[in-house]
Protein backbone atom coordinates (compact mmCIF):
# COMPACT_ATOMS: atom_id res chain seq x y z
CA UNK A 1 0.00 0.00 0.00
CA UNK A 2 1.35 3.43 -0.91
CA UNK A 3 1.07 5.70 2.10
CA UNK A 4 1.99 8.78 0.07
CA UNK A 5 -0.67 8.73 -2.65
CA UNK A 6 -3.06 11.34 -1.20
CA UNK A 7 -2.09 14.84 -0.13
CA UNK A 8 -3.78 16.22 2.99
CA UNK A 9 -4.51 19.91 3.35
CA UNK A 10 -4.04 20.03 7.13
CA UNK A 11 -1.60 18.10 9.31
CA UNK A 12 -2.83 14.80 10.66
CA UNK A 13 -0.57 13.15 13.25
CA UNK A 14 -2.45 9.84 12.97
CA UNK A 15 -1.70 9.65 9.24
CA UNK A 16 1.98 10.50 9.75
CA UNK A 17 2.27 8.04 12.63
CA UNK A 18 0.65 5.29 10.51
CA UNK A 19 3.28 5.85 7.82
CA UNK A 20 6.08 5.79 10.40
CA UNK A 21 4.63 2.75 12.14
CA UNK A 22 4.70 0.77 8.88
CA UNK A 23 8.39 1.71 8.49
CA UNK A 24 9.74 0.97 11.98
CA UNK A 25 9.20 4.56 13.14
CA UNK A 26 10.76 6.34 10.15
CA UNK A 27 9.30 8.61 7.49
CA UNK A 28 10.47 10.94 4.72
CA UNK A 29 9.84 14.63 4.12
CA UNK A 30 7.69 13.66 1.13
CA UNK A 31 5.62 11.28 3.27
CA UNK A 32 5.21 13.99 5.93
CA UNK A 33 3.93 16.36 3.24
CA UNK A 34 1.39 13.73 2.18
CA UNK A 35 0.12 13.78 5.80
CA UNK A 36 -0.20 17.57 5.67
CA UNK A 37 3.10 18.52 7.34
CA UNK A 38 4.99 21.49 5.96
CA UNK A 39 8.74 21.78 6.44
CA UNK A 40 8.08 24.52 9.04
CA UNK A 41 5.85 22.22 11.06
CA UNK A 42 8.44 19.44 10.83
CA UNK A 43 11.03 21.89 12.21
CA UNK A 44 8.65 22.67 15.10
CA UNK A 45 8.35 18.93 15.83
CA UNK A 46 12.14 18.65 15.71
CA UNK A 47 12.47 21.54 18.18
CA UNK A 48 9.96 20.10 20.64
CA UNK A 49 11.47 16.62 20.43
CA UNK A 50 8.55 14.78 18.87
CA UNK A 51 10.65 13.66 15.88
CA UNK A 52 14.38 13.48 15.17
CA UNK A 53 16.21 13.99 11.92
CA UNK A 54 18.17 10.90 10.89
CA UNK A 55 19.60 12.29 7.67
CA UNK A 56 18.50 14.83 5.11
CA UNK A 57 14.88 14.15 4.24
CA UNK A 58 14.48 11.22 6.68
CA UNK A 59 13.00 11.46 10.17
CA UNK A 60 12.07 9.19 13.06
CA UNK A 61 9.28 9.39 15.62
CA UNK A 62 11.29 9.79 18.83
CA UNK A 63 9.32 7.54 21.15
CA UNK A 64 8.85 4.74 18.63
CA UNK A 65 10.47 1.53 19.92
CA UNK A 66 13.74 0.75 18.22
CA UNK A 67 14.14 -2.38 16.15
CA UNK A 68 17.00 -4.81 15.68
CA UNK A 69 17.27 -3.68 12.05
CA UNK A 70 16.88 0.11 12.34
CA UNK A 71 20.17 0.65 10.47
CA UNK A 72 18.57 -0.78 7.31
CA UNK A 73 15.58 1.56 7.18
CA UNK A 74 17.42 4.81 6.42
CA UNK A 75 19.24 3.48 3.33
CA UNK A 76 16.01 1.83 2.16
CA UNK A 77 14.08 5.11 2.51
CA UNK A 78 16.93 6.88 0.70
CA UNK A 79 16.18 4.59 -2.29
CA UNK A 80 12.59 5.87 -2.22
CA UNK A 81 11.48 2.46 -0.91
CA UNK A 82 12.42 0.64 -4.13
CA UNK A 83 15.66 -0.89 -2.83
CA UNK A 84 15.69 -4.59 -2.04
CA UNK A 85 18.07 -5.89 0.66
CA UNK A 86 20.54 -8.12 -1.14
CA UNK A 87 23.98 -9.69 -1.42
CA UNK A 88 25.83 -10.22 1.87
CA UNK A 89 23.29 -8.07 3.76
CA UNK A 90 20.56 -10.55 2.81
CA UNK A 91 22.91 -13.48 3.48
CA UNK A 92 23.49 -12.19 7.03
CA UNK A 93 19.78 -11.48 7.61
CA UNK A 94 18.90 -15.04 6.61
CA UNK A 95 21.71 -16.18 8.94
CA UNK A 96 23.03 -18.48 6.23
CA UNK A 97 26.71 -17.92 6.90
CA UNK A 98 29.20 -16.10 9.09
CA UNK A 99 29.20 -13.11 6.70
CA UNK A 100 29.44 -9.79 8.52
CA UNK A 101 28.79 -7.12 5.90
CA UNK A 102 30.48 -3.79 6.51
CA UNK A 103 27.95 -2.02 4.27
CA UNK A 104 24.22 -2.24 3.60
CA UNK A 105 23.67 -3.81 0.18
CA UNK A 106 20.54 -2.82 -1.72
CA UNK A 107 19.53 -3.74 -5.26
CA UNK A 108 17.72 -0.98 -7.13
CA UNK A 109 16.22 -1.01 -10.65
CA UNK A 110 18.70 -0.86 -13.54
CA UNK A 111 17.52 2.60 -14.62
CA UNK A 112 18.93 4.00 -11.36
CA UNK A 113 22.36 3.42 -12.90
CA UNK A 114 21.76 6.52 -15.06
CA UNK A 115 21.06 8.74 -12.06
CA UNK A 116 23.72 11.02 -10.70
CA UNK A 117 23.61 10.02 -7.07
CA UNK A 118 25.61 10.87 -4.01
CA UNK A 119 25.39 7.46 -2.36
CA UNK A 120 25.47 7.68 1.43
CA UNK A 121 28.48 6.17 3.17
CA UNK A 122 27.89 2.64 4.34
CA UNK A 123 25.57 1.85 1.42
CA UNK A 124 26.41 -0.18 -1.66
CA UNK A 125 23.97 -0.17 -4.56
CA UNK A 126 23.56 -2.96 -7.08
CA UNK A 127 21.53 -2.51 -10.25
CA UNK A 128 19.10 -5.19 -11.45
CA UNK A 129 15.44 -5.49 -12.36
CA UNK A 130 14.27 -8.18 -9.96
CA UNK A 131 11.30 -10.38 -10.74
CA UNK A 132 8.58 -10.74 -8.13
CA UNK A 133 9.76 -14.36 -7.67
CA UNK A 134 13.20 -13.09 -6.58
CA UNK A 135 11.83 -11.00 -3.70
CA UNK A 136 10.53 -11.80 -0.24
CA UNK A 137 9.17 -9.64 2.57
CA UNK A 138 11.39 -8.46 5.38
CA UNK A 139 9.51 -6.24 7.83
CA UNK A 140 8.48 -3.10 5.88
CA UNK A 141 11.16 -3.79 3.29
CA UNK A 142 11.89 -6.45 0.71
CA UNK A 143 14.81 -8.86 0.58
CA UNK A 144 16.09 -11.06 -2.22
CA UNK A 145 15.11 -14.71 -1.88
CA UNK A 146 17.78 -17.06 -0.50
CA UNK A 147 18.51 -18.49 -3.97
CA UNK A 148 18.84 -15.05 -5.58
CA UNK A 149 20.94 -13.89 -2.60
CA UNK A 150 23.40 -16.74 -3.05
CA UNK A 151 23.61 -16.14 -6.83
CA UNK A 152 24.31 -12.45 -6.15
CA UNK A 153 27.03 -13.34 -3.64
CA UNK A 154 28.66 -15.67 -6.17
CA UNK A 155 28.59 -12.96 -8.85
CA UNK A 156 30.05 -10.43 -6.36
CA UNK A 157 32.91 -12.84 -5.54
CA UNK A 158 32.11 -13.20 -1.86
CA UNK A 159 34.36 -15.72 -0.15
CA UNK A 160 33.66 -19.21 -1.57
CA UNK A 161 33.73 -20.63 1.97
CA UNK A 162 30.93 -18.28 3.04
CA UNK A 163 28.93 -19.15 -0.06
CA UNK A 164 29.37 -22.91 0.45
CA UNK A 165 28.29 -22.44 4.05
CA UNK A 166 25.26 -20.44 2.84
CA UNK A 167 24.25 -23.04 0.26
CA UNK A 168 24.52 -25.84 2.82
CA UNK A 169 22.51 -23.91 5.44
CA UNK A 170 19.85 -22.90 2.92
CA UNK A 171 19.42 -26.50 1.74
CA UNK A 172 19.33 -27.92 5.28
CA UNK A 173 16.68 -25.38 6.28
CA UNK A 174 14.58 -26.04 3.17
CA UNK A 175 15.07 -22.53 1.77
CA UNK A 176 16.34 -23.82 -1.57
CA UNK A 177 15.60 -26.96 -3.54
CA UNK A 178 18.04 -29.75 -4.40
CA UNK A 179 18.09 -28.38 -7.98
CA UNK A 180 18.91 -24.88 -6.68
CA UNK A 181 21.72 -26.35 -4.59
CA UNK A 182 23.24 -28.10 -7.61
CA UNK A 183 22.91 -24.96 -9.77
CA UNK A 184 24.53 -22.78 -7.09
CA UNK A 185 27.40 -25.24 -6.59
CA UNK A 186 27.97 -25.34 -10.36
CA UNK A 187 27.97 -21.52 -10.53
CA UNK A 188 30.42 -21.33 -7.63
CA UNK A 189 32.71 -23.93 -9.26
CA UNK A 190 32.61 -21.93 -12.49
CA UNK A 191 33.66 -18.73 -10.73
CA UNK A 192 36.41 -20.50 -8.77
CA UNK A 193 37.89 -22.02 -11.93
CA UNK A 194 38.02 -18.64 -13.70
CA UNK A 195 41.52 -17.10 -13.38
pLDDT in tens, 82-119: 999 999 999 999 999 998 999 999 999 999 998 888 89
Q: How many domains does the chain have?
A: 2
pLDDT at 67 over 60: yes
Residue 124 in domain: yes
- Residues 50 and 74 reside in one and the same domain: no
Dist. CA 157–CA 160, nearest whole Å: 8
- Residues 175 and 127 reside in one and the same domain: yes
Dist. CA 182–CA 100, nearest whole Å: 25
DSSP 4: T
Dist. CA 99–CA 89, nearest whole Å: 8
- Residues 117 and 38 reside in one and the same domain: no
Which range marks the domain in which residue 30 is found?
Answer: 13-61
Distances (CA, A) of 79 to 44, 73, 149, 155: 26, 10, 19, 22
Number of neighbouring beta carbons within 10 Å of residue 103: 14
pLDDT at 182 over 60: yes
Residue 6 in domain: no
Residue 2 in domain: no
Residue 3 in domain: no
Query: Is-contact 144 83, C-beta < 8 A?
Result: no
Amino acid sequence: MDNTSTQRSSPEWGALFAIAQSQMGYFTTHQAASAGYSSQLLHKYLANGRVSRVRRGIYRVVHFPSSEHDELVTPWLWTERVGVLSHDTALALYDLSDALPSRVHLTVPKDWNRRRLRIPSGLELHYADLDRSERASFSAMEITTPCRTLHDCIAAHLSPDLIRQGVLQARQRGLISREDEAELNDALAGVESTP
